[in-house]
Amino acid sequence: MTLPQAAETSASSAALSCSGLTRTFATPTGGLDILRGVNLSTYSAQVVAILGPSGSGKSTLLHLLGGLDRPSAGEIYWGGRRIDALPQRVLARERATRLGLVFQQHYLLEDLSVLENVTLPGRIRGRPDAARGEELLARVGLSKRATFLPKRLSGGERQRVAVARSLYSRPQVVLADEPTGSLDRSSAVGVYALLAQLAREEGSAVVMVTHDEGLVGDVDARYALSGGVLVPA
Ligand SMILES: Nc1ncnc2c1ncn2[C@@H]1O[C@H](COP(=O)(O)OP(=O)(O)OP(=O)(O)O)[C@@H](O)[C@H]1O
Ligand SMILES: [Mg+2]
């Protein structure tokens, strides 16, 4: 019994952890093994970067870690709670309180103002906190855009709104999937640096993935996704 208890203890002190994570996609010609046993633990205020070329499975991994897809095998813990087999409704509730997500395409709601987009997680719970939203907008340098609709923002500004929104609920973990595709290089570097800085200040752990090593600045741990597993990079 000693070993399972030790594993549980280490999983519960991590903000997010996974072990033995595999994902196989069924195809007409057989199974496609994209992830083959990923192990990862991240802790409060720690920023982890995962590098890997296009198609290596970065988005697949983040979707699993975010509870948006189910693993073929393996375990995922959010703050010590095992989530990979939870029912969808419980998972959605846990995700809303524990996780912030920044997707490859920034999913701002076009009919809501910038401030309303940032406070969206609170609106969904029925109690948006405008002061918290304004504080985050100030920290991403967009106070003067609070009343704008997203269509009047530049690509980099939109991503900064997505970063502010991801932190709104003071999540234990922020998962960021290359939030940079449409940006020029200096804006892209800026978005990742801003996310890392704010998350550290707030005590959130960050897992960021990218195919472009140059986008990743000062991080606490750096891995490459290679052959379906994580290796130090
Ligand atoms: N639902 C699915 N069914 C079958 N194959 C899939 C599915 N989702 C992803 N894949 C395959 O898994 C591989 C990894 O995809 P993934 O999107 O995770 O890559 P990525 O590392 O995020 O790439 P990029 O840098 O281009 O975003 C790809 O070859 C893709 O075709
Ligand atoms: Mg991807």
pLDDT tens-place string over residues 103-130: 877 789 999 999 999 999 898 888 899 9
CA 123, distance to chain mean position in Å, is: 20
CA distance 47 to 152: 31
Per-residue pLDDT tens digits for 59-71: 999 999 999 999 9
Please tell me the distance from the alpha carbon of residue 61 to that of residue 134, in angstroms, as a whole number: 32
Q: Position of tokens 């890997």?
A: 52
Amino acid 136 reads: L
Ligand 2 (ion): which residues have CB within 5 A? 58-59
Residues within a 6 A CB radius of ligand 1? 25, 32, 34, 52, 54-60, 211
Tell me which residue has its CA closest to atom 8 in ligand 1: 60
Q: Is 44 exposed, middle or buried (0-12, 13-18, 19+ CB in 10 A)?
A: middle
The model's pLDDT over 151-197, given as tens digits with 9 standing for 90+, comes to 999 988 999 999 999 999 999 999 999 865 567 778 888 888 999 99
Q: How far is the CA of 32 from the centre of ligand 1 (A)?
A: 10
Angstrom distances, CA of residue 228 to CA of 37, 57, 76, 210: 7, 7, 16, 15
Q: Comparing C-alpha atoms, which of 176, 3, 24, 7 is closest to residue 82? A: 7
Range of weakest confidence among 42-56, 175-189, 203-217: 175-189
CATH of 42-69+87-232, one of 3.20.20.70, 1.10.10.10, 3.40.50.300, 3.40.50.2300: 3.40.50.300
Measured in Å, residue 106 CA sits from the centre of ligand 2 at 13
List of E strands, the chain = 16-27, 30-42, 47-51, 73-78, 81-82, 99-102, 173-177, 205-210, 221-226, 229-232
Counting ligands in written order, the one closest to the CA of 225 is 1
The Å distance, Cα 64 to ligand 2 centre, comes to 13
- C-alpha dihedral, 155 to 156 to 161 to 167, nearest 10°: 130
- C-alpha 210 – ligand 2 centre gap (Å): 8
> Where does 106-145 have alpha helices with state H?
114-118, 120-124, 130-139
Q: Which residue's entry shows tokens 């140059």?
A: 214
CA of 59 to the centre of ligand 1 (A): 7
The answer to whether 117 touches 84, Cβ cutoff 8 Å, is no
Question: What one-letter code names the amino acid at 5?
Answer: Q
Instruction: Ligand 1, residue 225: give the atom nearest the CA.
Output: 21
Ligand nearest to the CA of 212: 1
CA-nearest residue for atom 5, ligand 1, is 25
